Structures are given as C-alpha cells and as structure tokens.
C-alpha cells in the first residue's frame, strides 16, 4: 500500500474509525509500521478523533443548535451571518487549541511523567518477577522493548546458558482502548513461533510477557503486539529483537 493511495482513499481516517475491511487493515498496518510519515499522521489522526469524541461527550460541541442559529441568522440578518461566520472560525481555532494542541502538550508531559514513574517502579517489578522465578532459575534476562518501524533491530538481549525464561516489557502509553492483548513472536525465517494471549497492562500501563526461551536461537525476531478486547482487534506495536545465545 503506497502513501498516495492512503491519502486518496482516506485509508488513515477510515482505519482510525475502524471502517476498513480485514484485508485493507492488514495491508495498512504493514505499511505504517515501516513508514515514519504515515505512523506520525496516524497518531495525530487518532488523537484528533479522540479529542472530538471527548468534547462531544462533555457537551462542548452543540452542532445542532449552532446550525439552527446559523440558518435563521442567514436569511434574517445577513450582517449577523457574516459575524457568525467569523465567530465560528474563531471558535474553531479555540476548540483546536483546547482539544488538540493543549491536550497534546499535556499528553506529552503525562507520558514523560508516566515513563519516569514506570522506570522508578521497574526495579520493584523486576525483583518481584525474579523472586517468583528464583526457585527454578537465576539471572532472568529482561528487555524493555522499543517500537521499531524499520528492519534494523533496536532491541538486543543475551540469553545466558540455563535461562528458561525471558521477560519482555512493552509500554503502551495511556491512550490504548484495549484491556487485553496478544503477542505474536516470529522466528528469523518469518514463521510464527509462538503466540501469547490474554495479556493485561500492569499498574504502570505496560504489558509484561514471560516468554519461554527454549525455542529462541540466536537471530533476529519480530514481535507484534495487538489489542484484542474490546473488538475489533488492532495492532498496537511492532518490535524487532536480536537474541544472542552464548
């Protein structure tokens, strides 16, 4: 799927509104995970739609009354209609500032604070996970995944001899609408190696996966994280992991 086709057919807006058929959705997801421009546009589109929906739920957008007033004012008071148009433009700018720009800045601050809080609590979670595994395994390898949109792995881990599990930590931010997730692990030869379902976010907003290492040889792996509940399911993150075995 090319960027021009995405713009011409409004693929991005339809994807954000969950109006694509399964084939179109898979094709678009394969594209935007490898295209920085479309990836950023999709994030902006989803934030805008979420902001408008939130404003509608809070009663900030009374479109029916505004449309009625505009219609009456146009045939009764032409001069007032022009003023109403200018006021509508100004209102649109104000709404954009309050619903898009300011929430975006606030969201960035919230995400930074959440990341800091997550990193502060990471040690406690790791210690808890290590205690749970200590009876059967020592030195559990751990990877905090970073999303990738290209073919070069941005995550690496060395699995020591005797390690039977690998802990993966994927942060999703505060905007995900999903309560349950699925992780698919693809081997270096691109076949599906393992699927882990019924994953939930922890108190830090992250998904933690305890992955068995017995089938993980040295090589580059593709990890796809998808939201499952509520429907419809959708991809939320793609990660490339380089595994080293001594």
Q: What is the pLDDT of residues 158-174, one digit of tens each?
A: 999 888 899 999 988 66
**With left for phi above 0 and alpha for psi between -120 and 50, is residue 32 left, alpha or beta?**
alpha
Per-residue pLDDT band at 34 (split at 50, 70, 90): confident
Per-residue pLDDT band at 134 (split at 50, 70, 90): very low
Name 186's bridge partners.
192, 222
Residue spans per domain, the chain: 3-110, 138-244
**Pick from 17-31, 213-227, 230-244: least confident:** 17-31
* pLDDT at 127 (0 to 100): 60
Per-residue pLDDT band at 189 (split at 50, 70, 90): very high
Grouping H, G, I as helix, E, B as strand and the rest as coil, residue 165 is strand
- 245 CB neighbour count, 10 Å cutoff: 13
* pLDDT at 168 (0 to 100): 94
**Pick from 50-59, 132-141, 178-187: least confident:** 132-141
Sequence-distant (6+) residues with CB within 8 A of 23 are none
Total length of the chain: 246
Per-residue pLDDT band at 38 (split at 50, 70, 90): confident
CA distance 62 to 82: 20
CA distance 89 to 72: 18
Closest to 149 measured CA to CA, from 26, 16, 224, 39: 39
**Pick from 82-86, 136-140, 210-214, 215-219: least confident:** 82-86
Token pair for 198: 């019924």
Q: What is the pLDDT of residues 215-230, one digit of tens each?
A: 899 999 999 999 999 9
Whose structure tokens read 């960035």?
A: 108
Beta strands at 234-244 and 155-158: parallel, antiparallel or unpaired: parallel
CA 4 vs CA 1, 31, 47: distances in Å:
9, 12, 22
Token pair for 123: 């040690």
Q: What is the pLDDT of residues 78-126, one digit of tens each?
A: 444 455 566 666 766 667 666 666 777 777 777 777 777 766 676 666 6
Q: pTM score, two decimals?
A: 0.45
Q: For residues 122 and 169, is the Cβ–Cβ distance under 8 A? A: yes
Name 237's bridge partners.
225
CA distance 194 to 242: 16
* pLDDT at 126 (0 to 100): 64
Token pair for 122: 């990471």
Cis before 232? omega within 30: yes
* pLDDT at 195 (0 to 100): 95
Name 192's bridge partners.
186
* pLDDT at 71 (0 to 100): 43
Angle at 44 between CA 64 and CA 201, to 5 degrees: 105
Fold of 138-244: Immunoglobulin-like (2.60.40)
**Pick from 38-52, 62-76, 166-180, 183-197: least confident:** 62-76
pLDDT exceeds 50 at position 68: no
């Amino acid at each position: 799927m090319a960027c021009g086709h995405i713009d011409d057919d409004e693929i991005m807006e339809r994807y954000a509104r969950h109006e694509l058929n399964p084939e179109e959705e898979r094709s678009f997801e394969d594209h935007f995970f490898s295209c920085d421009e479309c990836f950023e546009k999709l994030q902006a589109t989803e934030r805008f739609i979420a902001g408008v929906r939130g404003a509608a739920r809070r009663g900030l957008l009374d479109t029916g009354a505004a449309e009625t007033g505009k219609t009456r004012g146009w045939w009764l008071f032409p001069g007032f209609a022009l003023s109403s148009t200018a006021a509508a433009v100004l209102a649109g700018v104000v709404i954009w500032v309050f619903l898009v720009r300011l929430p975006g800045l606030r969201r960035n601050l919230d995400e930074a604070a959440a990341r800091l809080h997550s990193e502060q609590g990471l040690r406690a979670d790791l210690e808890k996970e290590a205690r749970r595994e200590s009876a059967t395994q020592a030195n559990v390898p751990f990877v905090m995944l970073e999303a990738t949109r290209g073919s070069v792995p941005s995550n690496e881990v060395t699995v020591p001899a005797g390690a039977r599990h690998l802990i993966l930590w994927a942060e999703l931010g505060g905007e995900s609408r999903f309560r349950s997730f699925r992780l698919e692990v693809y081997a270096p030869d691109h076949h599906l190696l393992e699927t882990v379902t019924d994953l939930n976010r922890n108190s830090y907003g992250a998904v933690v996966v305890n992955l068995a290492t017995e089938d993980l040889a040295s090589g580059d792996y593709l990890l796809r994280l998808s939201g499952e509940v509520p429907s419809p399911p959708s991809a939320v993150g793609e990660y490339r992991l380089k595994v080293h075995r001594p």
